[in-house]
A = this chain, B = another copy of it.
Amino acid sequence: MPSKQRNTSALALKLLEERGTFWLFDCGEATQHRMLHTTLKPKKLEKIFITHLHGDHIFGLPGLLGSRGFLGGTERLDLYGPVGLAEWIEVTLRISRTHLNYELAVHEVEEGTVFEDETFRVEVQPLDHVIPSFGYRIEQKPLPGKLLIDRATEAGVPKGPLLRELKEGRDVVLEDGSIIRSGDVTGPPQPGFTVAILGDTRFTANSIELARGADIVVHEATYDGATAHLAAPYGHSTILDAAQVAREAGAGALIANHISARFLPEDARKLAGEAADLFPVVEIAEDLAEFEWKDGQLRRLP
C-alpha cells in the first residue's frame, strides 16, 4: 500500500552502457509515474522480472506496458514471473483493449536459468513468502581481458580491425599466414558483477544460495529487531535476517528495501545501524534512491 513517503515496489537495473537498456524488478502501481521523475525511458525497458504476484508488486504493469508502446518502444519485451502472470496479462490487455505495438513474451518461472546470452545469465529460485515468491541472481559473464597493445604490435598485428577481433577474444590470421591467439595478446579476463534481487521472503537458505559471492544483494527488510515477532507470521524478514543472508553468502554489499511504512525515512540510519554488527555495508533503499556499482564499490548517487 502506498503512503506519502513510500510507493509500492519497483527496482530498475541499468545495465552496461553498451547494452543501453534497463531491466525492471517488480512493478507496483504508479511505477510509470515515478519513472517520469528519473532518466529511465520506458522504450529502453528490455526485461521485467516479477518476484511474486501481490498487488503492490504488479499493479503498475499493465499501464507501463501500454505506455511503453505510446512512448516509442518497438523492441520485444520479455516478462518473467510466477505462474498466473500470463493469464492476468492476457485478460487485462484484452479487457482494456490494450494493443501493444511490440512483441511481449511472458515467461512463467520455476527454478534454474531463465535467461542467458553472451553477457548475462539470470537464475531464479523460490523463496519463502505467504504466496510463491522468487529471487533472481543476475550474473554478468567474465569480460575479455584488456588488449596488450605492445605485445600485439610486437607479434606483427597491424593497426585496424584485427586488433578489435583479438580484443573481443577471437584468434586471427595475419597476411603472412601466422596465427595470433587472442589469449597471447590480452590480459586475464575481468570478472563480471553479480547482483541478487530477492522478492518478499522469510529468512531462507535459497536467499543465501542466490546471493553467494554476489557483489550486491537486494533483500527486503520489512521489520526491525523490535518487531521481529511479526516477520514469520507475515512471511517477511527483519533487517537482521537480511544482514545474515548477506553475511553467510559472502556478499559485497546489502541494499535493504521493502521497509515497512511504520519506519519513517529518518529511521533509515537506525535500521542500518541494527545490521552493522552482522554486516557492515548496508544501504536502505528509499523511493527513487539510486546506487552505482563501479570499481568494486557501491555508491549512493545524490
A1-B70, A29-B30 known; A96-B36 Cβ under 8 A: no
Within 8 Å of chain B (Cβ to Cβ): is A154? no
Interchain CB contact under 8 A, A2 and B87: no
Q: What residues of chain B lie closer than 8 Å to A91, measured between beta carbons?
A: 87-88, 91-92
Within 8 Å of chain B (Cβ to Cβ): is A32? yes
Within 8 Å of chain B (Cβ to Cβ): is A183? no
Within 8 Å of chain B (Cβ to Cβ): is A294? no
Within 8 Å of chain B (Cβ to Cβ): is A66? yes
Q: Work out how many copies of this chain go into the complex.
A: 2
- Bound-state CA distance A97–B53 (Å) is 8
Interchain CB contact under 8 A, A3 and B53: no
Interchain CB contact under 8 A, B59 and A63: yes
Q: Which residues of A from 84 to 138 have beta carbons under 8 Å from B?
A: 84-85, 87-88, 91-92, 95-98, 131
Interchain CB contact under 8 A, B92 and A1: no
Interchain CB contact under 8 A, B95 and A87: yes
- Bound-state CA distance A55–B84 (Å) is 20
State the Cβ distance, A41 to closest chain B Cβ, in Å.
14
Within 8 Å of chain B (Cβ to Cβ): is A7? yes
Name the residue of chain B whose CB is nearest to the CB of A84: B95
Q: What residues of chain B lie closer than 8 Å to A33, measured between beta carbons?
A: 2, 7, 29-30, 33
Within 8 Å of chain B (Cβ to Cβ): is A262? no
Within 8 Å of chain B (Cβ to Cβ): is A245? no
Name the residue of chain B whose CB is nearest to the CB of A64: B29
- Contact residues on A (Cβ < 8 Å of other chain), bracket: 35 or more
Interchain CB contact under 8 A, A36 and B2: yes
What 0/1 pattern do residues 9 to 31 of A give for CB contact below 8 A with B?
00000000000000000000110
Within 8 Å of chain B (Cβ to Cβ): is A58? yes
Name the residue of chain B whose CB is nearest to the CB of A4: B36
Q: Which residues of A from 122 to 181 have beta carbons under 8 Å from B?
A: 131
State the Cβ distance, A120 to closest chain B Cβ, in Å.
28
Q: What residues of chain B lie closer than 8 Å to A47, measured between beta carbons?
A: none
Interchain CB contact under 8 A, A60 and B29: yes
State the Cβ distance, A37 to closest chain B Cβ, in Å.
8
Task: Return 28 A-B CB contacts under 8 Å, by A number.
Answer: A2-B33, A2-B36, A2-B63, A3-B36, A4-B36, A4-B37, A29-B29, A29-B32, A29-B63, A30-B30, A30-B33, A53-B95, A53-B97, A54-B96, A55-B66, A55-B98, A56-B63, A58-B96, A59-B59, A59-B62, A59-B63, A59-B96, A84-B95, A85-B95, A87-B95, A88-B96, A92-B92, A97-B131
Instruction: A1-B70, A2-B67, A88-B95 are known; give 6 further A-B pairs, CB within 8 A.
Output: A4-B36, A29-B33, A29-B60, A29-B63, A88-B92, A88-B96
